Amino acid sequence: MKWKKYTIETTTAAEDYMSSMLMDLGIEGIEIEDNIPLTKEDQADMFIDFLPELPPDEGISHVSFYIEEDGSDQKQILTQVKAGLENLRKMVEVGSGMISSSETEDLDWINNWKKYFSSFTIEDILIKPTWEELKEEDKDKFLIEIDPGISFGTGKHETTQLCIRQLLKYIRGNSEYTPENKHPKVLDVGCGSGILSIVALKLGASEVVGTDLDADCMISTKENMEVNHLDAGLGTFYVGNLIDDEELQQKVGTEVYDIVVANILADVIIPMAPVIPARLKKGGYFITSGIIDFKENEVKAAIEKAGLEVVEINHQGEWVNITARKN
């Protein structure tokens, strides 16, 4: 599909008004480029732990939007955008308001990333996108099928893989480690696509409870449970923030989990560490990742301060997994 990209030069003060005006006109896929650093909340939502140095913010912003080349009345939309822009001038400094245009190559916003997600294995687990056909030679493999939709969690990210390896070890066991409980109850904080809950259940977990800030993850997780033939009753998933939502903490429960897994971000795991020991049974494990290597010591200190004993630290690329025990 061919798209035409239009870019409005405006001010950082007007960029939100500008995108809201465009959305009111039914335009989706709006892009904002400015030199304002992301907030901590935006960083957490976007799973970004470190940011490039930006040039100084001079108050200039470029707001771009895309219109399908065929099938839309470009002229009419542009007239509406120009009228909307002039209306905004009465409320806020919109700057030059100059609109430039360029052609883009074929774009399929929702599905393009799928080209980069194909089957792969972690130890003996085959992770396969739901849309890929299962090869004859893979029919007997330990299979997890995933469509993350708009949630995080194809399994390709180093942090997810670090957690999967720990689930393999602490649920199934391996040569150096034999778990006492082969059917643990698992809490998956930041469940995303549900991939870690599904791996845990497929490895033998008796039940999983998951949480995420993002309501869309509930849909992806539910659908992925179904695709993997897991009974819906094996998993309960809640939207919310375990760090400070006492109602959620109560729903999730106290001293009921053999394993808590949380693949989020160092800046989220640090404030979350104090509420983890209360969720774990004595002897239970906290498996966490999403930690960029230069924040390893900070996260380790927070986990130890919360009263857990760090038993393992693993690395993959620039990412870290910390596993800790409640003694």
Ligand X SMILES: C[S@@+](CC[C@H](N)C(=O)[O-])C[C@H]1O[C@@H](n2cnc3c(N)ncnc32)[C@H](O)[C@@H]1O
Kindly identify the residues of this chain, within the stretch 264-323, that bind ligand X according to CB under 6 A: 264, 268, 290
Is 263 among the residues that bind ligand X (CB under 6 A)? yes
- Among 94, 167, 191, 273, contact with ligand X (rule: CB under 6 A): 191
Rounded to whole angstroms, how far apart are CA atoms 174 and 194? 24
Is 6 among the residues that bind ligand X (CB under 6 A)? no
Cβ(275)–Cβ(32) under 8 Å? no
Identity of the residue numbered 227: V
Q: Which stretch binds ligand X (CB under 6 A): 51-59, 172-180, 213-221, 275-283?
A: 213-221
44: tokens are: 């957490």
**Annotated binding residue at 190?**
yes
Residue 18 or 195 having the CB closest to ligand X:
195
Least distance between ligand X and beta carbon 18 (Å): 27
Which distant-in-sequence residues (6+ apart) come within 8 Å of 319 by Cβ?
158, 159, 162, 289, 290, 291, 292, 293
Is 125 among the residues that bind ligand X (CB under 6 A)? no
Sign of the Cα torsion 14, 150, 220, 217 reads negative
Is 235 among the residues that bind ligand X (CB under 6 A)? no
- In what helix (H) or strand (E) does residue 179 lie, and over which residues does it extend? none
**Annotated binding residue at 112?**
no
Is 160 among the residues that bind ligand X (CB under 6 A)? yes
Of 220, 225, 233, the residue nearest 190 (C-alpha): 220
Q: Which stretch binds ligand X (CB under 6 A): 49-57, 191-199, 223-231, 303-311?
A: 191-199
**Annotated binding residue at 241?**
no
**Annotated binding residue at 160?**
yes
> What angle (nearest 5°) sits at the alpha carbon of residue 33, between those of residues 27 and 36?
130
Sequence ranges of the binding site for S-adenosyl-L-methionine: 160, 190, 212, 263
